A and B are shown apart, each in its own frame.
Chain A
């Protein structure tokens, strides 16, 4: 039995890692969608975290816990800096501005000596593992559930439903927008660092527009009624290409078809139940 499990874990190691990492990315998307913002900077923040962590490990040999903290701190600072001008935007304009941020960062990675240019960085030691990745995901999920069922969660849902009405109830809108963006950046940065330290190689193209849209699709497929939706979406969209492997060339067609069907017929996502918003029995 254990032998089978070992074999299984060995064969599908990178896929299982990807489930946890993409789950974190889905939560990073969730936190901005949960207050009604469409920000597509998650891939850029992930890249920032990945490069920060890889450089600290490779060039400075910094201890891994410190590396992880830095991989969250650097994107958080970046979010604070870009938050001030971009959070005046909303809707599709914010999405465009954050896509722009991603492209700027990607081009910077491609052209910088320090980051290894278009070839990226390789030889990153494998320091993360199942325990670390899934503990991070579990902790993040628990934190989201606890926050959702509180005054903060109510304010977030109120903002998503009607920002003007939420403001008229005393919700400090700019503070919530900026906090959501910072938390989103930290989670994406952490996911980037974990990914860099299990895949041994990172390159600028991992963090471009495609990645941004993929992360958004996790949340769209899963639904944003609760934090579980996006994680379920990430798991399905990560597994789907593997499960559909027997279809060979039709795989991507099928993959796309499933997403289209889900969006058309399940507007609230695969996990439509919304989370309770009270911290005690009502």
Chain B
């Protein structure tokens, strides 16, 4: 528990009479990949929104690096090292790929208004350094050749990569990924897994929501399972796979078999 990068304590949010997230507690260890799974409507994206500051809980606390961040707005959480991607891609379509990544560096690029207006050497140095770093990041996610293209013109899989690149540009300690593999074909998914493992090797902690069980089982060190807003299980992939309450949560769908299938593919 100590040293957890993210800890939810009894987190609850109600929309009218419905508790979308209901007394959920779990923590994420640094430099791990942590999965958050559950059937549709389990409260995964709502939990993500609470963690990233896009909604506010009715009860409970969120700790980031040991600090309570309940009252921090989203931009402050971002400035302190929390980044996320969205289920529906939210890149800046009109801006170029390079500009998207530079926008991701917002909190770290130097240059005040005065330096900007006077084009002081400090401003130019900061911009050049940022562009250099953005180029590295684009190389890292495999979009080096696309840097001058309009983000909105990229194919779907590349837009997902760009969103990850933009999040990575903010130098996050923790990155939340909301269904990163959604809509991807198997080869795109495979290269995404590779990218996320390289992200982990870079020291970024990942918390991800995903429906693709094969993806989850191959990537995660630890998995938390939600159902109807409550945590019903938390364990390693191997144990979660055989947990009766998890299998039941998927309401008789063939998740047990799907989990087994995931294991076989592996």
Chain A residues near B (Cβ < 8 Å): 143, 146-147, 150-152, 154-155, 157-158, 161-162, 164-173, 274, 277-282
Contact, CB under 8 Å: A157 / B131: no
Chain B residue with the shortest CB-CB distance to A157: B95
Complex Cα distance, B127 from A147, in Å, reads 13
Inside 8 A of A173's CB, which chain B residues have their CB?
Answer: 73, 75
Residue from the list B52, B78, B95, B127 in contact with A279, Cβ < 8 A = B127
Inside 8 A of A154's CB, which chain B residues have their CB?
Answer: 95, 99, 102-103, 106
Q: With A151-B106, A151-B109, A154-B102 known to touch, is A172 a contact of B75 (CB < 8 Å)? A: yes
B94 at the A interface (CB under 8 A): yes
Residue from the list A147, A164, A171, A281 in contact with B106, Cβ < 8 A = A171
Using a Cβ–Cβ cut-off of 8 Å, how many residues does chain B contribute to the interface with A?
A: 44
Inside 8 A of A165's CB, which chain B residues have their CB?
Answer: 86, 90-92
Inside 8 A of A166's CB, which chain B residues have their CB?
Answer: 103
Residue from the list A143, A167, A280, A281 in contact with B78, Cβ < 8 A = A167
| 8 A-B residue pairs with CB within 8 Å | A151-B106, A161-B93, A162-B90, A168-B84, A169-B107, A169-B170, A170-B107, A173-B75
One digit per residue, 1 when the CB lies within 8 angstroms of any chain A CB and 0 when it does not, for chain B 10-29 equals 00000000000000000000
B64 at the A interface (CB under 8 A): no
Inside 8 A of B94's CB, which chain A residues have their CB?
Answer: 157, 161, 274
Contact, CB under 8 Å: A168 / B102: no
Residue from the list B79, B99, B119, B126 in contact with A170, Cβ < 8 A = B79
Contact, CB under 8 Å: A280 / B75: no
B258 at the A interface (CB under 8 A): no
B43 at the A interface (CB under 8 A): no
Q: Which of A150, A151, A161, A171 has the most CB of B within 10 A?
A: A151
B:33-61 near A, CB below 8 Å: 52-54
